[in-house]
Amino acid sequence: MRPLPRTLTAGAMLLAIANAAYAEEKSPSTTDGTNSVASAISRSVSASPGAGLMNDWLRSESDFFRSWDIGGQFRAREEHKEYFAAAGQAGAVDFRKVGGDPDNTYLLLRERVHLGYQPCPWFAAFVEGQGSSSTGDDRNPNPESDGPFDLRQAYVWLGDAKAFPLTAKVGRQELSYGDERFVGAFDWNNLGRVF
């Protein structure tokens, strides 16, 4: 009965290698002869998510809110880790049942609030704050908590990619390139990254 675990292990390794190879593929380039950079910028500017419940309601109440973007996000996630060392905990061990408590269960909380303003197609401003915390985490110092509510993003956008192919987005912002292996928002983490 030993061949089955070996077969499963080999299959899992084959799938992992195929997944890594697929992740390295590049997206197809444009074949219509247009400038791919300019078309990517215009697609990123024109492709915007829905306004959201609060914005839809405010915009239906008054035309004043058409140029405003008001919103937020709340996320709660519980993590349970068994046999992982909790840094700063006396007697912490990895993968051993003797000495210390190798289990760690904690609740991660993240709140974000943002305000955006775009009075015309060539100017926009955006500000976002974030609070990240955890409850019950044995690790010390706690890598999933950033303390008080902090400024996450604050930037100004100048230019209209439809009128002129040069735009500028200046300030603290999320950057996401490719598969986000090196530069990305790392949004699954409780803190995330901004540049």
Please provide residue 186's backbone torsions phi and psi, each rounded to the nearest 5 degrees: 50, 50
Name which residue leads in pLDDT, 143 or 163.
Answer: 163
At 69 the pLDDT is: 94
How does the average pLDDT of the chain come out, rounded? 77
Contact 115, 69 (CB under 8 A): yes
- 105 Cβ partners below 8 Å, 6+ apart? 78, 79, 80, 81, 136
Which residue intervals of the chain are DSSP H helices? 3-23, 36-46, 53-61
pTM value is 0.65
Q: How far is the C-alpha of 71 from the C-alpha of 53, rounded, in Å?
A: 9
Give per-residue pLDDT as tens, 53-110: 888 899 899 999 999 999 999 999 999 887 676 665 565 555 555 556 667 888 999 9
Sign of CA dihedral 176, 16, 190, 58: positive
